[in-house]
A and B are shown apart, each in its own frame.
Chain A
Amino acid sequence: MDVELIAMQLVAGVALGAILIMVALGLTIVFGMLGIVNFAHGALFMVGAYAGLWVASLTGSFWWALIVAPIAIGLFGVIIERVLIRPLYKRSPDDPLLLTFGLGYVLVEAVRIIFGSDGIPFSTPQALQGVVDLGIGFFPIYRLFVVAVVAVVLLALWLGLEKTRFGLIVRAGARDPLIMRVLGVDIGRLWLLVFGLGVGLTALGGVLSAPMRNVNPEMGSLVLAEAFVVTVIGGLGSLLGAVVAGLLVGIAVSLTALIAPEMATIVMFALMALVLLIRPQGLFGKTGGGA
């Protein structure tokens, strides 16, 4: 097979993987800290894409959409945590999961009411259109841009978690919230911020993916299942796992599309089944398998 073609598919796979990483990271951070799986995560990804669309049409600039939409939706996430999820911490871990599932329903329907049920095209910003020759083949500039943005976000996240005082508190809070409370940390406010961060990340993923896929109310449900596959393969609660599994899934899907297109969506689930058989807790998960 053509080396150039494979290289191009590889880049496409990495770009797809980058989007998956954004979504899975938000899911896994919220789980690692708060111990809940956010079933509205996919819907918030979709809401992020629509928010991006709206900001872009208002300001006429993709760049504003890229910055404003994730922050706005992140703040929306903060409100969700404060109003809907906080009353449930003392109850069974199933309850927040069920609540966020219902929330996903409401969000999808709300978007349908505002923007209609049909998909809306989202054009690639002018500066990022076209392809670039890297010697081994021509690559769409936008996909390379997506990979770069995700790399920057990952670096910032890593620095934030490893090198700052806030990161130290977050990591300690994930280990033992009770001790942190005893030490005088306002753990409730911390969880608020972490949930907002998780939602902001998925919203950013939504805006980034908008020019690559059509924006439609259903896009979240597909992404949610994909994010689950990534977190299950990587190990729930593991940031490194989300990154490795995201790339793995993205590349696997992309290369399968080259060989057998009809198997492309199925291959990631097969990959997950395989990982489950060998390591039920995921590649980087702690033994015991999550919750």
Chain B
Amino acid sequence: MAVETPLRQIRHAAGTGAGQASRLKAAFTRWRVPLCVVALCLLPWILPSKALAVNVLIYGIYAVGYNLLFGYTGLLSFGHAAFFGAGAYVTGIAIAHFGLPWYAAVATGILVAGLLALVIGALSIRTRGIYFSMVTLALSQLVYYTALQASSWTGGENGLRGFTVGRLDLAGLSVDFLDPVNKYYVIMLFAAAALWFVSRILNSPFGAVIEAIRENEVRARACGYDVERTKLIAFVLSGLICGLAGTLSALHLAIVPLDTLHYNTSGLVVMMTLLGGAGSFFGPFVGALVFLLVEDVASLWTSHWQIIVGSMFILCVLFLPKGIWGTFIAWRTGR
């Protein structure tokens, strides 16, 4: 995390007008993963239920992975359910059909999600802008229908069942996974790893290049960067992290509903990321937290909570384009 790219150093040096404040900001950036993990440790004791806290973790990882592509590379994908779903389905299939141990199933799930991201990414980054969004959505629908058709493997419309994970055994260690608190902290370890990984990427030279592409693709190309390849790598990295989220959701629920691959699941992550603030490190997690909390509260008094969440999203696009966390940062830094 301590690796500072030249670009960032220049940016920091340029901002020394504020002196103290920018040094504070740099420290904040350096310690952002530990800070986030501390916050996550407290989460299950603040939220109304442990199950909700686990969901926040899973969708938080999903949104963090998505934000790498949307917020930092500037590519608005509407097909990330494909990677989330691939992670979930492959993990479930590996356990239910092949009897793989949980860690091998998790690894396979992430790997297959990454491979799928490679294929879908290679096809879709040939297009630009709005076209890109449409192509990613259409290709993820292809994955959806494939899962629907291959019902002997995936359970079709009924979803994948029959793979309850009760205990997690690894290197002599054994954890009762059915206990909600245990479950939360195990998944939190994965979340911490994902956050560290993303933070690492963003602080690397590669992170500077993807942001350069987001800001001005033509200029990035003129600077000599291989824009297509960089976009594809960002797409695959994003797919890997979203695959991890899907994998964890399969372990958590012990079923994989077909809805996991539905394009609403793609839209969900777009909404969460935007709600929290695209292109900010904590934004997606904040977005996932707020979204799920609103869903949780709203579903108590109406089964049509989607109308509330959808309206909230519309208002957010209209009046809070930087999202909750993004607006907070802008207000803090006086921009």
Contact = CB atoms under 8 A, between A and B. Distances in A.
Interface stretch (A109-117, A164-172, A196-204, A240-248): A109-117
Contact of B128 (A84, A272, A289): A289
Contacts, number: 124
B181 interface: no
A266 interface: yes
Contact of A273 (B123, B146, B274): B123
A263 B150 CA distance: 11
A236 B128 CA distance: 12
Per DSSP, chain A at the interface is helix
Nearest to A288: B128
B264 interface: yes
Given A265-B145, A276-B126, A291-B131, A229 B314 contact: no
A263 B314 CA distance: 37
A276 B123 contact: yes
A269 B134 contact: no
Q: How large is the interface on B (under 10, 10 to 19, 20 to 34, 35 or more residues)?
A: 35 or more
Looking at chain B's contact residues, is the secondary structure mostly helix, strand, loop, or mixed?
helix
Contacts of B307: 105-106, 109-110, 113
A36 B304 CA distance: 28
A93 interface: yes
Given A106-B307, A266-B146, A269-B138, A290 B129 contact: yes
Contacts of B274: 98
Interface centre among A88, A101, A281, A289 (most CB of B within 10 A): A101
A235 to B, nearest CB: 10
A52 interface: no
Contacts of A37: 130, 133-134
A184 interface: no
Interface of B: 76, 123-124, 126-131, 133-135, 137-139, 141-142, 145-146, 149, 262-264, 267, 270-271, 274, 304, 306-307, 309-311, 313-314, 317-318, 321
Interchain residue pairs A-B with the least CB separation, the first 3 = A291-B129, A105-B310, A269-B142
